[in-house]
Chains A and B, each alone.
Chain A
């Protein structure tokens, strides 16, 4: 049979789904806290674990967590990676400059918060103390908590 050259057809999608997600009561409290530059977590009344951002259920105890606690704005950098690429809509591109993403364990928290780190890639170290940096103008959005930097 004669070789047939396939044509690539780009997707023609007549539907454009716009998904709206309600954040729910717990992330709403978290974002409301941002308006006052506060970081809130949820505490389990049974095991005492504090998770940030707050969520309704303690997975370990399978219980509703009813207590909100304010966490300090300082913590320890538990883990990090220096990014040399960006993934925008699933496409891999080289980053303009290396950047640092870290996992921060706030004092008193039982889990780690993923955050941008404002630190030179050469200076970043596991175990370093870091503190939260807020935007000047806070609006109750995730981006209010701009990044963490060395304390």
Chain B
């Protein structure tokens, strides 16, 4: 990269119901972040907002969210995908030399929404899948889960192990929306099935939330922060839409996006070089599936890795030490929150969930059914 990009600061909010308006949430995240850094909106030369018109209930939703973010009379654009794509897009503006200071702000109030799963129905092919009414976000994830378990000979209990680890991490993270005290495999196994093999506690809870983050050039990083977190590499990939055409036991999009990010960051052996990963896995099976696809866990050895505690906070490859999307998954903000959680670790501010090797990390974000689209960034200190 010709010019470096640093994360100067961030603010997050997540809850089942934030009991706030969209505008108030955006204002508080943005103003809070500017206050943290001791600057005002005049110091920001570009705003990248990330929201979704279906979730927001208004077209061109940033029309209403730009002003409370502080983005009026500024360069302002919107990304209507996962927040990690907004992060990448915002970074490109700094790498190109056009901007020095960019605010990325992603949000949705999916937790307090009456019909949280309707969003994905609108992503279905209207002339086919939407007509058949078989495919939805949950049934697609369940098919992916079974395909992954079957291809690797993993037992359904792997899902319980992943969920317990994530929910324990989430319970120790004050920023998470779903914090269950005393979570156990029995408790996870006792939650009702949605679509087999996925149970309620294997699936993300609809969440209200948002994340504001300030990205800056190297010159500005020196002024604004003592603990810059640097962007080292990024990559994206989009797979085919039709799930009947894909091998659901693996993720081609995550594999390709990660390879592109590794190449840019000069990473040869991700499992050895990376300290931990924050993965957008709204369903339990996706964490090991994506980790294997991205070379973080050895293929076919995920069940053993979870049993041995390798993926726990104090393990060799901690996955979602924040608790991940099973602890809270505000659509649009999800991937940007993963970045913020990784940055918290890299700055040594993750409290009870602090990992030991916090120098380089992978962050994954996704869109579409069964991670049709993946985005990956590598961050480092």
Contacts and interface: CB of A to CB of B under 8 A. Distances in A.
Contact of B193 (A6, A51, A82, A101): A82
User: Interface size class for chain A?
Assistant: 35 or more
A111 B242 contact: yes
Given A79-B143, A87-B138, A90-B117, A112 B194 contact: no
B136 interface: yes
A63 interface: no
Nearest to A87: B136
B153 interface: no
A81 interface: yes
B131 A142 contact: yes
Interface in B99-152: 114-119, 121, 126-129, 131-132, 134-139, 142-143, 146-147, 150
B240 interface: yes
B244 A103 contact: yes
A30 B129 CA distance: 14
Identify the interface centre among A6, A23, A85: most chain B CB within 10 Å of its CB.
A85
Contacts of B196: 81-84
Identify the interface centre among A51, A90, A114: most chain B CB within 10 Å of its CB.
A90
A114 B244 contact: yes
Contacts of A46: none
A68 interface: no
B134 A101 contact: yes
Interface string A81-102: 1111101011110100000010
Contact of B57 (A11, A23, A113): A11
Interface in A41-93: 51, 53, 59, 79-85, 87, 89-92
A112 B144 CA distance: 13
Given A21-B127, A92-B117, A116-B134, A83 B139 contact: yes
Nearest to B144: A79
Contacts of A101: 134, 139, 143, 195
B146 A81 contact: yes
Interface residues of B, number: 39
A104 B118 CA distance: 26
B252 to A, nearest CB: 12
A24 B136 CA distance: 23
Interface in A2-26: 6, 11, 19, 21-24
Nearest to A127: B150
A96 B132 CA distance: 19
B248 interface: yes
Contacts of B128: 27, 53, 142
A113 B126 contact: no
B138 A111 contact: no
Contact of B143 (A19, A53, A81): A81
B19 A6 contact: yes
Given A80-B146, A87-B121, A114 B134 contact: yes
Contact of B195 (A84, A111, A114, A142): A84
A109 B19 CA distance: 51
Contacts of A84: 192-196
Interface of B: 19, 21, 57, 114-119, 121, 126-129, 131-132, 134-139, 142-143, 146-147, 150, 192-197, 240, 242-245, 248
Given A79-B248, A85-B194, 4 more contacts: A83-B194, A89-B118, A90-B119, A103-B143
The 3 closest A-B pairs by CB, nearest first: A90-B118, A90-B115, A81-B142
26 contacts: A23-B127, A24-B127, A53-B128, A79-B146, A79-B147, A81-B142, A81-B197, A82-B193, A83-B139, A84-B195, A84-B196, A85-B138, A87-B117, A87-B121, A87-B136, A87-B137, A90-B117, A94-B192, A101-B134, A101-B143, A101-B195, A103-B143, A103-B243, A112-B244, A116-B134, A126-B150
